[in-house]
């Protein structure tokens, strides 16, 4: 019995040291130019690598909490925190599987898939995915993404992970690093749109889950009942928004959002992200 217990303990220690090795290697090779807004927040970086403090700040946690994960200490790490670390450090598929399985004791969970995904006509999907002019993405009324093109990943690299648009923009710390003027230019108009859908689709359980996630964030919850909340159902195309892009350092870019409704998918929205003033190409 003692021998078997000791073998289990040695196995656990070996797994935990693997997590430490995976995360340290990922931090060492991290190209911070691929993290939108990193330069503006932390300054220029001429070499590869990101510190524990920087990783923690981008993930919205204390350095002590991130250090606990990297050191392999057991704790109740949330899926959101682990997913943030995955994106910030750009973990490979096998690395992500190791980190998640050891820390959570089970296989990684996949992002929710909208039931409307299967209903997207092939022609519409091809239009979105093959467009090479502007960033295009299609989302449902819950802001779950149904399709996107390669140019969208140049603007919003997080989209490849299946994140909900509202949840990312309104609750993830990394969004506030990338999105300039987060509260007034981004959060207030997006929350205004979310509140309209909250009333229009009041019985939609998935949408209510998105709203619950947004309202669980203290900053977003405060804005939910803000007195200056605008009345709007879609982004205003004439009102540019500013943000940072990958591999562009601290340079600010300005974009405009154009919203379209596909006739075959009346509850969905086709979004085009247009460069404003020639900043984004």
* CA distance linking residue 236 with residue 232, whole number of Å: 8
Which single residue is written with the structure tokens 């932390």?
42
State the CATH architecture for 117-275.
Answer: 2-Layer Sandwich (3.30)
Q: How many residues does the chain have?
A: 281
pLDDT of residue 111 exceeding 50, the answer is: yes
* CA distance linking residue 170 with residue 63, whole number of Å: 22
Residues of the chain with CATH 3.30.450: 117-275
| pLDDT for position 17 | 80
pLDDT of residue 12 exceeding 90, the answer is: no
| pLDDT for position 16 | 55
To the question of pTM greater than 0.75 for the whole model, the response is yes
| pLDDT for position 112 | 82
pLDDT of residue 1 exceeding 70, the answer is: no
Residues of the chain with CATH 1.10.260: 2-104
142 vs 110 pLDDT, higher one: 142
State the CATH architecture for 2-104.
Answer: Orthogonal Bundle (1.10)
Residue 5 CA, chain-centre distance (Å), reads 41
Reported in sequence order, the residue ranges of 197-251 that DSSP labels E, i.e. its strands, are 241-243
Structure tokens at 71: 């050191």
């Amino acid at each position: 019995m003692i021998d078997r217990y000791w073998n289990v303990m040695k196995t656990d220690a070996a797994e935990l040291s693997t997590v430490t090795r995976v995360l340290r290697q990922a931090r060492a090779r991290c190209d911070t130019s691929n993290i939108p807004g990193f330069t503006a927040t932390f300054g220029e970086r001429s070499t590869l690598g990101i510190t524990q403090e920087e990783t923690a700040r981008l993930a919205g946690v204390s350095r002590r909490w991130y250090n606990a994960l990297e050191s392999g200490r057991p704790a109740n790490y949330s899926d959101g925190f682990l997913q943030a670390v995955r994106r910030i450090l750009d973990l490979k598929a096998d690395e992500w599987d190791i980190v998640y399985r050891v820390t959570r004791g089970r296989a990684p969970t996949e992002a929710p898939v909208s039931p409307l995904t299967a209903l997207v006509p092939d022609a519409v999907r091809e239009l979105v995915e093959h467009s090479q002019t502007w960033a295009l993405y299609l989302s449902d009324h819950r802001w779950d993404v149904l399709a996107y093109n390669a140019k969208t990943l140049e603007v919003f690299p997080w989209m490849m992970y299946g994140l909900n648009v509202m949840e990312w923009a309104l609750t993830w710390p990394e969004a506030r690093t990338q999105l300039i003027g987060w509260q007034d230019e981004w959060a207030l108009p997006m929350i205004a749109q979310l509140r309209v859908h909250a009333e229009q689709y009041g019985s939609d359980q998935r949408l209510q889950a998105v709203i619950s996630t947004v309202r669980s964030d203290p900053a977003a919850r405060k804005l939910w009942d803000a007195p200056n909340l605008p009345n709007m159902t879609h982004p205003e195309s004439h009102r540019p928004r500013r943000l940072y892009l990958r591999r562009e350092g601290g340079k600010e870019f300005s974009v405009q959002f154009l919203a379209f409704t596909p006739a075959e998918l009346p509850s969905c929205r086709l979004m085009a992200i247009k460069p404003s003033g020639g900043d984004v190409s």
